[in-house]
Amino acid sequence: MQPDYPARRRPIKALGGREFIAMMALLMALQALAIDAMLPGLGQIAADLGVSDPNRRQLVVGIFLVSAGVGALVPGALADRHGRRPVLLVTIVLYVALALGCAMAPDFDTLLVLRALHAVSSAGVAVLPAAIVRDRFAGDQMARTLSTVSTVFMVVPMLAPSVGQFVLLFAGWRWIFGVLAVLATIMGVWVFMRLPETLDPANRQPIMPMTIARNMAHSAIERSSAGYVLGAALVFGAMFGYINCSQQLVAEHFGAGHYFPLIFGATALSLSFSNFFNARIVERFGARRVSQTALLACICLSLLQVHFAFSPHQTLLRFMPVMAANICAMGFIGANFSSIALQPFARTAGAASSMQMFMRTLIGSLIGIAIGQVYDGTARPLSLAFVTCGLLSLCLVLYSERGRLFRRLIPPGGERVLVDVH
């Protein structure tokens, strides 16, 4: 039976462009906040819950990332049937409840279980904004909108460690989860009051296992999309590896100490800048040209990272500028790769967004955990991982593009046409 959406509900145009972008960005930021706000508290969590292995504390982040990837399979298909709005609201309620559960965890293993459940519940706030954007836009305009959303969204990873550090000045690590619950409650009220349904009734999909499986499988194996999804997973995997070991590498190995949140925030600022700039050039140059150029830049910067990492007496001043530049280049990849990968799936944007988020997050988080667990007190494992992930990502993009880079999507009359731009 079709859900009954009252006629009195405001049309989507009632939500202004700036408010729409801010809402989508802050919804996505709830998941990023649940990751990065914990970084300053990892040492305190380990000490409080009796964790002796210094690398094991990284699992507070790693388990969350893996579980978020698995959870991404669920909300998109439900949203394709019941609409974006109700699924999003249920997601936020679960987010609040499980954040409070994490705050009351009695031991480390219980905390990891609750973090996994929290991540699964948070998947909707990461998956559905992309589907909502796809409901409204297509092509390079969608890439521009996602980049603008990402520009606002990236302010949160910049501030999140500082939020966690601020909480720790006045209270214990458990209160960080309390702050997450409060912020999610505010977002839930905002969504309830202001976000109308964006799913076209003609695009509603039945909740049938075979239909869902077929839609998701199609979004996973479509050649023009698959290389970009897997390529993004590798790039994100390198970034997740940096996030996992950043507290040990930057705060402890390089001796940044209490300045770690500021340094981490500066790196995130470079990512926000690139998304801001990307939003202004992507419609002119095309998502493919911009993101493929950025990927080549990432590979070159990663090779420079390897050179510095294997040089004697590497310092923070030699490590962070190159890392920040590499993260900045990644900002031109994320939204554009996502837009390119989602473009062929107008009718099944929810299922496609779920499947693609699942693949990106699960594969990326497993790579990130692996990178974090081989941390040896130097930047060498991380730098080698960045090079490897960049080169493999390039190979996957070449697969999707049938061996040719720098082509542009031009949709005359709504048809997908690729043209050379050399």
Write b or e for each residue in 32-59: b if 16 or more Cβ atoms lie within 10 A of its Cβ, otherwise e: bbbbbbbbbbbbbbbeebebeeebebbb
Is 243 part of a structural domain of the chain?
yes
Which residue range(s) make up the domain with 70? 14-420
Question: Can you say whether the dihedral through the CA atoms of 401, 402, 405, 410 is positive or negative?
Answer: negative
Could you tell me the pLDDT band of residue 140, with boundaries at 50, 70 and 90?
Answer: low
Is 251 part of a structural domain of the chain?
yes
CA distance 114 to 99: 8
Has residue 231 got a pLDDT over 50?
yes
CATH code at 149?
1.20.1250.20
CA distance 216 to 251: 41
Has residue 301 got a pLDDT over 90?
yes
Share of the chain above pLDDT 70, in %: 89
Arithmetic mean of pLDDT, 242-259: 85
Listed residue (145, 147, 126, 122) closest to 135, CA to CA:
145
Has residue 111 got a pLDDT over 60?
yes
Is 135 part of a structural domain of the chain?
yes
Has residue 122 got a pLDDT over 80?
yes
Q: Which of 74-83, 180-189, 320-329 has the highest mean pLDDT?
A: 180-189
CA distance between the termini of the chain: 51
Residue type at 389 in one-letter notation: C
> Could you tell me which residue, 180 or 140, shows the higher pLDDT?
180
Q: Which of 267-271, 327-331, 396-400, 406-410 has the lowest mean pLDDT?
A: 406-410
Listed residue (276, 267, 266) closest to 149, CA to CA:
276
Cα Dmax for the chain: 68
CA distances, 296 to each of 231, 242, 333, 338 (Å): 12, 19, 10, 18
Listed residue (352, 354, 350) closest to 362, CA to CA:
354
Has residue 282 got a pLDDT over 90?
no
Full DSSP string of 74-141: HHHHHHHHH-HHHHHHHHHHHHHHHHHHHHT--SHHHHHHHHHHHHHHHHHHHHHHHHHHHHH--HHH
Is 238 part of a structural domain of the chain?
yes
Is 6 part of a structural domain of the chain?
no
pLDDT of residue 6: 44
Q: Are the C-beta atoms of 293 and 408 separated by less than 8 Å?
A: no
Average pLDDT over the chain reads 83
pLDDT of residue 151: 67
pLDDT of residue 286: 86
> Could you tell me which residue, 48 or 276, shows the higher pLDDT?
48
pLDDT digits (tens, 9 = 90+) for 350-389: 778 778 888 888 898 889 889 988 888 888 999 999 999 9
Residue found by looking up tokens 């990927």 in the block: 295
Q: How many structural domains are present in the chain?
A: 1
CA distance 108 to 173: 13
Is 2 part of a structural domain of the chain?
no
> Could you tell me which residue, 298 or 208, shows the higher pLDDT?
298
Q: Which of 29-43, 161-175, 286-300, 332-346 has the highest mean pLDDT?
A: 286-300
Q: Helices (H), strands (E): how many in the chain?
A: 16, 2
CA distance 29 to 192: 18
Q: pTM higher than 0.95, yes or no? A: no
pLDDT of residue 381: 92
Backbone angles phi, psi at 2, to 5 degrees: -70, 135
Is 239 part of a structural domain of the chain?
yes
Is 72 part of a structural domain of the chain?
yes
CA distance 141 to 193: 27
Which residues is 169 bridged to in the sheet?
A: none
